[in-house]
Amino acid sequence: MNRTLMGLLLGFAAAVQANTPDPQQFQPLKPSHPQAVAAHLAASLIGEHHYRPLALNDTLSEKTFDAYLKALDGERMFFLKSDIDQLQKARTQLDDAVLSENLELPFAIFNLYAKRAVERFSYARSLLKTGFDFSQNESYRYQRENEPWAKTDAEVRDLWRKRVKNDWLQLKLTGKDDEAIAEVLGKRYENFLKRMAKLKSEDAFQIFMNAYTMSVDPHTNYMAPRTTEDFDISMRLSLVGIGAVLEEKDDYATIKELVPGSPAALSEQLKAGDRIAGVAQGANGTMTDVVGWRLDDTVALIRGTADTTVVLDVIPAGTGPDSQHKLVSLIRKKIRLEDQAAKKSVLTLTDKGLPRRIGVISLPTFYEDFAARQKGDEDYKSATRDVSRLLAELKEEKVDAVLVDLRNNGGGSLSEAIELTGLFLGSGPVVQQRNAQGEINVAKGLAPGAVWTGPLGVLINRGSASASEIFAAAVQDYGRGLVIGDTSFGKGTVQTMINLDRLAHHQAAQLGDLKLTVAQFFRINGSTTQLRGVTPDIALPTTADAEHFGESSYDNGLPWMQVKPADYHAVADLHSAVPVLQQRHERRAAADKDYQNLLEDIADFNQRRNKPAVSLNEKERRAEHDAQEAKLKARDPEAAKASGTADPGTPENGGPARNHGQDPGKPDKKGKDPLLTEAACILGDAVELEQARLEPTGRSVAKSERPDKDQLTGESQATP
């Protein structure tokens, strides 16, 4: 080890040892030899086999350093400015630590963070003895990602005083008395301190390694080895659960994605970015505050026996700490492939006095039972097979058009995306794939002919990614149908899993796995879905925050680029119809109450999301809440009555439910889905325009003959 590195380690060790807390609360962590080997092996793979090979050097060390600090203290609540000044000396030393297989330096940084975290929460707990004055006019800035670190102990203590005061006020506005509030917050802060006591070297190593791997690209990740006693944090492999992939962010268990067909997905009450503040067992169980808990402990509380109820206290994605919470009740169940299957429904609207029927196929993922297919099972389950059967049923029901709903479909099997595209296009190129050597392979659909040749629409949103983008892009490039909704996620890269133990010839699982980006997708027109996603022909409103969700939210995503177009021929040109469809959409939306309510909700949602601070004045906070309640009551008195009138604070330990935290753009309690409804109407307009084009008279259509959203109905929903 060089002298500079040794000096840094001695300095960090001294900082951690000074005023070290009770060893029962926190003990400095040390790296293991297998972890050092895993880090070096991962660096070698990234430097040689990544789609964009990147050697671990001083430049990448600096990026890793910044990502590491952000992972540890993203809101700049723990470290002091003097800590950061000291840590800056390590900016170009992290590569040396990995390549020399000596991880003491990144562990020393983690230990300093842990020491500061214990100090901050110990101070927070001490503030509960005196209470607060809520008549003062001050505010708490909870969005601190771009704020400077506190320069002095007095400054950081004042920051934490405001944080605790805000926590207190949230509970006060739910009707809790001071004694109950002190008890709830005392347990919350104590839980965090206990969590620090349970830290393992694997925790520090996982955070550091992902700071490194995700500095290369957002989808290259390191996964620590699992043991039989570890919980599967993603819950994908759980025998029983709710089907939510969780990650830890800012002391909250945060939903990363929903498993299609799971209780969490089917409830339509949860989405990526939602934060779980509490968990209760049973419909009437006591709510346990889980803020600050270890992620695996929270997962253990959520998991349970099949057919039992778990209630989650949820803070909606993208909202501030004073947002409206909601209680989500779910029945635990086994996640089966059948639950993820495509579903169909038929929406009927009136046009020219006659019913126009729009068949809707909702596809949550591009699934395939690989094992059954490999065994030669002729009845193996797949998205293409199910959708083909549903299309046949819709043809029997004489629908006028088909709308494929890919909202929040995060992808799945590439082969299924290609084969499913063939149901609408027949044979021909679907997607191009370029590897690290620059070699391009064109994947083609092999279907002898299309199953559905009628009018087609594809509904996407920001949660539509990967395979969904391949399907939507092919439909758009061929001119086969309209793409409606929001710009998709923008993930145009391919990853592969590498078991590090196999490479190192370890018998016991010690090194973990590396998910490595090895290729990139390109549309048949030569452009890539990477970064920019698929842009819809007709855009619908969205609640997605492009700054924080989607490939463009990452500062190191692979760039957008182009290659040579594939050899294909468009089947139609729909561009000339888009201006007319857009005009009709805008006119219809302006006159539709549900749609305008949606726009208003989205505006409110974005306003709350972009508000970086909240008032700590009780009178002002109550006034804000009362205004929101009055607005809800005026729009829907019954729904407002059912939602209750308490403040949108955390309903810990059995507090009142918050039912009006509904995410704009999702179906409401009455089952209304304004975006799906409008997409069906747009597709109905397209059918009308095509029929008018084919009519010899070419007569224009009166306004009274256009599809009427108020007369739209749903029928015959079926699950294969």
pLDDT digits (tens, 9 = 90+) for 58-79: 999 999 999 999 999 999 999 9
**Paired tokens of 135:** 């008549």
> What pLDDT shows up at residue 4?
54
| pLDDT computed for residue 656 by the predictor | 24
pLDDT for the residue numbered 494: 93
In whole angstroms, what is the distance from residue 166 CA to residue 171 CA? 9
For residue 425, the tally of other CB atoms under 10 A from its CB is 24
- Phi and psi based region of residue 267 (left: phi greater than 0; alpha: psi -120 to 50; beta: remaining): alpha
Nearest residue to 104 via CA among 16, 169, 210: 16
| pLDDT of res. 466 | 94
Burial class (CB in 10 A: 0-12, 13-18, 19+), 305: exposed
* pLDDT in the model for residue 317: 80
Q: What is the 3-state secondary structure (H, E, C) of 679-700?
A: HHHHHHHHHHHHHHHHCCCCCC
Instruction: Tell me which of 91-100, 264-273, 395-404, 405-414 is least confident.
Output: 264-273
Angle at 454 between CA 450 and CA 459, to 5 degrees: 95
Nearest alpha-carbon partner for 565 in 512, 600, 537, 528: 528
Q: Kindly state the DSSP code that residue 407 receives in the 8-state scheme.
A: T
Tokens read off for 597: 């309510």
Give the pLDDT mean for 237-249. Answer: 69
> How far apart, in Å, are the Cα atoms of 482 and each of 456, 489, 524, 574?
7, 18, 17, 8
* Most confident of the following: 212-226, 228-242, 256-270, 292-306: 212-226
Collapsing DSSP states into helix, strand and coil, what is residue 103?
coil
- Asked if residues 471 and 570 have their Cβ atoms less than 8 Å apart, the reply is no
Q: Could you tell me if 686 and 401 are in contact, meaning their C-beta atoms sit under 8 angstroms apart?
A: yes
Q: Above 90 in pLDDT, residue 379?
A: no
Is residue 670 very low, low, confident or very high in pLDDT (cuts 50, 70, 90)? low
Residues 6+ apart with CB under 8 A from 513: 222, 223, 225, 497, 498, 499, 500
- Quote the pLDDT of residue 403: 98
Facing residues of 401 across strands? Answer: 358
Q: What SS3 state is found at 249?
A: strand
Superfamily of domain 226-331: PDZ domain (2.30.42.10)
Tokens of 211: 């700071």
Share of the chain above pLDDT 90, in %: 53
What b/e string do you get for 402-411 counting C-beta neighbours within 10 Å, with b at 16 or more? Answer: bbbbbbbbbb
Q: Which of 419-423, 703-707, 714-718 has the least mean pLDDT?
A: 714-718
> Taking 90 as the threshold, does the pLDDT of residue 374 lie above it?
no
Q: How far apart are CA 343 and CA 361, in angstroms?
A: 6
What does the domain layout of the chain look like in residue ranges? 3-216, 226-331, 337-570
Cα 133 from Cα 131, distance rounded (Å)? 7
SS3 225: coil
Among 289-298, 331-340, 431-440, the least confident range = 331-340
CATH architecture designation of domain 337-570: Alpha-Beta Complex (3.90)
Q: Where residue 15 falls among pLDDT bands split at 50, 70, 90?
A: low
What pLDDT is stored for residue 8 in this prediction? 56
DSSP state of 663: P
Cα 323 from Cα 345, distance rounded (Å): 35
Radius of gyration for the alpha carbons in the chain, expressed in angstroms and rounded = 27
On the question of pLDDT at 24 being above 70, the answer is no
CB 396 within 8 A of CB 386: no
> Active-site residue numbers?
466, 477, 491
- Give the residue among 226, 224, 245 at the shortest CA–CA distance from 299: 245
d(CA 98, CA 56): 9
Residue 120 has φ and ψ, to the nearest 5°, of: -65, -45
pLDDT top residue among 562 and 666: 562
Mean pLDDT score, 140-167 = 95
The lowest-confidence range among 111-125, 352-366, 593-607, 690-704 is 690-704
> Which two tokens mark 13?
């060790």
* 499-503, Cβ contacts within 8 angstroms, sequence gap of 24 or more: 500/38, 500/41, 500/42, 501/225, 503/41, 503/45
pTM of the model: 0.80
Instruction: For residue 364, give the DSSP letter.
Output: S
> What's the angle, vertex CA 573, arms to CA 363 and CA 704, rounded to 5?
75
Burial class (CB in 10 A: 0-12, 13-18, 19+), 239: exposed
- Asked whether the beta carbons of 460 and 485 are under 8 A apart, the reply is yes
* Over residues 355-375, mean pLDDT: 87
Instruction: Classify residue 336 as exposed, middle or buried by CB count within 10 Å of its CB (0-12, 13-18, 19+).
Output: exposed
Which of 488, 557, 500, 517 has its CA nearest to residue 224? 500
Tell me the three-class secondary structure of 589-658, residue by residue: HHHCHHHHHHHHHHHHHHHHHCCCEEECCHHHHHHHHHHHHHHHHHHCHHHHHHHCCCCCCCCHHHCCCC
By residue count, the chain amounts to 720
| Helix (H/G/I), strand (E/B), else coil: 351 | strand
Straight-line distance from the first to the last Cα atom of the chain, in angstroms, rounded to the nearest whole number: 63
What is the dihedral sign for C-alpha 188, 192, 197, 203? positive
Residue 185 Cα distances to 141, 180, 182, 197, 614, angstroms: 19, 9, 5, 19, 19
Q: Is the pLDDT higher at 128 or at 11?
A: 128
